[in-house]
Amino acid sequence: METPHFETIKSPREQLIEMEKSGHYVFHGSFTPELEFLEPRQAVNQNEETGKMEPDRDPAVFATPYADIAIFRSLINGEGVSGDSTSGFGMSENDNVYLQATTNLLEAAKNKTGYIYVFNKNDFSDFEGTECRAHSQVKPEKIIKVNFIDLPQNIKILN
């Protein structure tokens, strides 16, 4: 009698980290489900002097080569959050991803579903820090649904 073959089922985060390690993909995290294509949008940034939101570079589809940042961005957002909140992410001095958020954002994420749009890295350019950009419509190769359990454990709590 043959021994049965057991296949390990990977979590969404494990699948995304494996794809990240391959070096062939970039990721866009969103709370918007199952978009067929992503189109360039105008990003905005807060002007530090005036406090006003202003256009930030040319319209683009923004993505990241870091799966954990995409997961974080898909779940840590202002949807359904009351009170003041803030979050951030980036690269530390020793080239590790850092993530930070206020408690209310993390609490709200417990009841959210995020969507990670996985793209071929060759469809993107302008790789800079934690982001890259596509300046034309892009079609995801895969869409992976994530939940609170998929958030990385190293999120710094801001309060």
Is residue 1's pLDDT more than 80?
no
Which structural domain, as residue segments, surrounds residue 52?
A: 12-158
What is the Cα–Cα distance from 62 to 28, expressed in whole angstroms? 7
* Residue at 5 is within a domain: no
H/E run at residue 106: helix 103-109
Containing 100, the helix (H) or strand (E) segment is strand 97-102
Beta-strand pair 41-46/142-147? unpaired
Is residue 2 in some structural domain? no
Residue 46 in any domain: the answer is yes
Residue 3 lies in a domain: no
Mean pLDDT of 38-62: 89
The pLDDT of residue 5 is above 80: no
pLDDT at 7 over 80: no
Total of domains in the chain: 1
Give the residue from 102, 64, 69 showing the smallest Cα distance to 85.
Answer: 102
Examine the pLDDT at 122 and tell me if it is beyond 70: yes
Structure tokens at 73: 């961005």
Query: Do the domain assignments include residue 4?
Result: no
Is 55 inside a domain boundary?
Answer: yes
Instruction: Please check whether residue 69 lies inside any domain of the structure.
Output: yes
The predicted structure's pLDDT at residue 47: 85
* Per-residue model confidence (pLDDT) at position 46: 83
